[in-house]
Amino acid sequence: MKILLVGEYSRLHNSLKEGLNALGHEVTIIGSGDYFKNYPVDIKLNRKYTSGLSKKWKVLLFKLFKIDLAAEDIKKQFFGHAEQLKGYDVVQLINESPLGVTPKVEKEVVSFLAKNNKKLFVLCCGADYLSVKYAYEKKVRYSILSPLFDGKVSKKAFSPILKYLQPEFKALHEFVFKHISGVIATDMDYHIPMKGHPHYLGLIPNPINVEKLQFLPISEKEKIIIFHGINRGNYYKKGSDYFEEALAMVSEKYGDKVEIITVENVPYAQYIELYNKAHIVLDQVLGMDQGYNALEAMAKGKVVFTGAEKEFTEYYNITKPVAINALPDAQAIFKELERLLLNPELIPEISKNARAFIEKEHHYIHVAERYLKTWESN
């Protein structure tokens, strides 16, 4: 099969490509690499006008004439590769807005891909119209929109998420769904809003390349090392404020027992190296299931504080803890950290469970086989 994967913002498409390559398929990824994270792609679309005078000029032009220079530049780059983007058996979009530009340009891109290739699929694995609408209507106990409802952030600060509810993005959603053979969710946070939708093809877990992520047995060091990686742009969306409050409590009460490492906005390759020596990784709070960073940390045998709600444990029939469910409550997170500090024998036990879970449910080749079966039958 010849497969084109459009967009990348978590390494999902890279791991899927590795699984598909191992099964003998030809795969190309096109995307921008997602800002500072800089994920590898085969066809790189360079995002310009992101800082300095060029950004000010872009903002001014948009205010005066509604011209988005960055979107037009991405469009020019994309269509500069037009001949390389034709003739695929399957094209999969990472999102309804796979290039992260204006709905107008996204529609042109989707239209071109649908016209010049056999099948088009889209993933539900990040903010999009249906998942944001579901969260905005408060159909879940808590969500990435909880900081907005709690008054921690303004609507303006959350505009990168709330934009999906605007008429032009709703229209983009409807346009994309007219051109696809189906939509696939990657975890419970997207599976639940999609259930019952006529285009929904089911949940396929995130692929993790377990061969590239070596299991690191937990060392019996004097101090327990806790790692917290902050993406400042997603600070409240990820619940980093709860983690920081809990860490302050830990530091005050158990400063002699722990070493706390906090980093901000580092590229992906550097990020995964930085947490290698940690026992515990604080990932995110406001989710029912694990995001990509959490899964990779679990593959390495880290005890990860992340989404591990009952919807997740019931779906996968989890009987032994594979991660710590991080609730939107700093005191509850502190209590869980304290439990591990006072019972350090639990850490290697959860570490082994985490790795076993990833190998069973997220192995990149097995996941690639599930994608192939879904694509071929729809």
pLDDT at 300 over 70: yes
Read off the CATH number of the domain in which 133 is found.
3.40.50
Q: Are residues 24 and 63 in the same domain?
A: yes
Q: Flag the least confident range among 29-43, 86-100, 275-289.
A: 29-43
Given a contact cutoff of 8 angstroms between Cβ atoms, the answer to whether 191 and 287 are in contact is: no
Asked if residue 119 is part of any domain, the answer here is: yes
Asked if residue 146 is part of any domain, the answer here is: yes
Element of type H or E holding 122: strand 119-124
Q: How many domains does the chain contain in total? A: 2
| pLDDT for position 233 | 82
Element of type H or E holding 73: helix 69-80
Q: Are residues 237 and 270 in the same domain?
A: yes
φ, ψ at 305 (rounded to 5°): -90, 115
274: number of Cβ within 10 Å: 14
What confidence tens digit (pLDDT) does each residue in 180-192 have?
A: 999 999 999 999 9
Read off the CATH number of the domain in which 342 is found.
3.40.50.2000
Distance (Å, rounded) from C-alpha 378 to C-alpha 131?
23
Containing structural domain, residue 17: 2-207+363-376
pLDDT at 140 over 90: yes
Q: How many Å from the N-terminal Cα to the C-terminal Cα in the chain?
A: 15
| pLDDT for position 66 | 72
Quote the distance between the C-alpha of residue 277 and its chain's center: 23
Q: Are residues 26 and 167 in the same domain?
A: yes
| pLDDT for position 218 | 79
Asked if residue 214 is part of any domain, the answer here is: no
Q: Are residues 73 and 200 in the same domain?
A: yes
Q: Are residues 201 and 82 in the same domain?
A: yes
